[in-house]
Amino acid sequence: MLWLLLVLPCLGASVPRTPDPGSGRELVDIVGGCDVMARRYPWQVSLRFYSMKSGLWEHFCGGSLVHPQWVLTAAHCVEPEELEVCAFRVQVGQLKLYDHDQLTKVAQIIRHPQYNDSLSAAGGADVALLELEAPVMLSEHVYPVSLPPASLRVRSGKICWVTGWGDIVDRTPLPPPFKLQEVAVPIVGNEECNQQYKSYFNDSDSEEIIKEDMLCAGREDRDSCQGDSGGPLVCRWNCSWVQVGVVSWGILCGHRDFPGVYARVTSYMSWIREYVPRFPGS
């Protein structure tokens, strides 16, 4: 997969930005969405890295607040592994990017041990945790999302919601004032999704492209896209919003035959609980 790279000040290293749209298994942003109302998704976070060109901490991925001191995101957002925590900042409680930034430093990055840098998101285990240097102050604009029980099964056809500041269509960035976007997407069963992706890659062998730890969602003109990676897919369950997916990868954006692919959060609940304490208020 091809990347555009920007130099970071603390390493003289680089972090991935938007992949080449012609590179096949693209990383994914919000297509067919609309502006988010205040307080609707108080767990949404923006991951930032420093651009020497602009002199700003720029948005490059999404994430979700799952505890006052922990953020869940995609592992491919924080590769390569050699990058240090000083390369990243987190912004919480923001609907418009760069609107009165108050960035939080990252104390620790924990990538899932089964994530494979060479396979990237399509290899699975595309989840990572960021421990913040200090807990963020909670309010009606900043609040953790609920995590699902490992036993939760999301049925095909259920309507869930994905949010982010990514591209609104292929190669078309979200325009100023960069308002957070939301879109409703139907869950697509893994078997159906796998067959659709196999047809694209002319892959007739037994290996599954859509693995058990992945979840598909979306339809024509309703999808995540470049820049939404790491962000949350949430569903209503027992009268609460529950995060079931992490934006991971896909083919094009909003294509009728290729739903977006997400890391399935239920597959990683035991791993998440090794680090993230339960937060009773979420």
> Catalytic pick from 46, 229, 248, 267?
229
Structural domain count of the chain: 1
Q: How far apart are CA 275 and CA 130, in angstroms?
A: 10
Does a structural domain hold residue 227?
yes
| Residue 117 annotated in active site | no
Residue 182's CATH number: 2.40.10.10
Does a structural domain hold residue 124?
no
Q: How far apart are CA 144 and CA 280, in angstroms?
A: 10
Does a structural domain hold residue 206?
yes
| Residue 229 annotated in active site | yes
Does a structural domain hold residue 166?
yes
> Catalytic pick from 126, 167, 223, 228?
126
pLDDT value of position 24: 41
Q: What is the mean pLDDT of each run of 10 residues along the chain (282 residues)?
A: 30 36 42 57 96 92 98 96 92 94 97 95 97 96 96 95 87 85 93 92 77 92 86 93 96 88 98 94 63
pLDDT value of position 39: 65
> Beta strands 56-67 and 70-73: pairing type?
antiparallel
Sequence letter at residue 58:
E
Q: Give the ranges where the chain is alpha helix by DSSP (H).
A: 190-201, 269-273
> Catalytic pick from 59, 67, 76, 255?
76
| Residue 76 annotated in active site | yes
Domain interval for residue 165: 159-266
Does a structural domain hold residue 195?
yes
Look up tokens 């012609």; give the residue. 22
Whether residue 80 has a cis bond before it, omega within 30° of 0: yes
pLDDT value of position 37: 58
Q: Is 208 left (phi over 0), alpha (psi -120 to 50) or beta?
A: beta
